[in-house]
Amino acid sequence: MNGKRSFGGGGRSKAGTQGGQQGKDGQRRPMFRRRKVCKFCADKIDDINYKDTKLLMPFVPERAKILPRRISGTCAMHQRKLRTAIMRARQLALIPYTAE
């Protein structure tokens, strides 16, 4: 268990140094990462409609898979609604299932 933990910690610090920047006095600073916000909460979009392909398209990038929450930053409630909307739009061939 201990070994596992140190392994995970090592991985994290490695990522930190890779992304870190050199300060003036040579100190390493952790990379600044912008906090992700749910697009639908921020823009106050209440209903995610399957007819609104313009809204849905940014969440189905090239491969036409649904963009995961960890990347898009969408909150759980809106990701759920987004998923149903995308699945409905796919049935009607408004959005592709896969990219050929």
Partner 1 sequence: MNRKYELVYVVSPDATDAQIADLHTQVEQIAQRLSGVIEKTDNWGRRKLAYEIGPHKEATYVLETINGGGELMKEIDRRLKVSDLVIRHLIVRIDEEQSVVDRTRTKRTEASRRRRVARGLPPDRQPGEGQRGDIDDDRDDRFELPEGLER
Give contact residues for partner 1 (rule: CB under 8 A): 44-47, 49-55, 57, 88, 90-98, 100
Nearest to partner 1 of 25, 62 (CB atom): 62
Q: Whole-angstrom Cα distance, residue 7 to residue 85?
A: 40
In terms of Cα–Cα distance, which of 92, 100, 96 is closest to 64? 96
Provide, rounded to whole angstroms, the least separation between the CB of residue 90 and partner 1.
8
Minimum separation from the CB atom of position 72 to partner 1 (A): 18
| Token pair 């995610």 in the structure block, residue | 48
Q: Which two tokens stand for residue 65?
A: 């898979």
Shortest CB 91 distance to partner 1, Å: 6
d(CA 25, CA 81): 49
d(CA 15, CA 31): 9
The residue among 60 and 72 lying less far from partner 1, judged by its C-beta, is 60
11 vs 58 by CB, closer to partner 1: 58
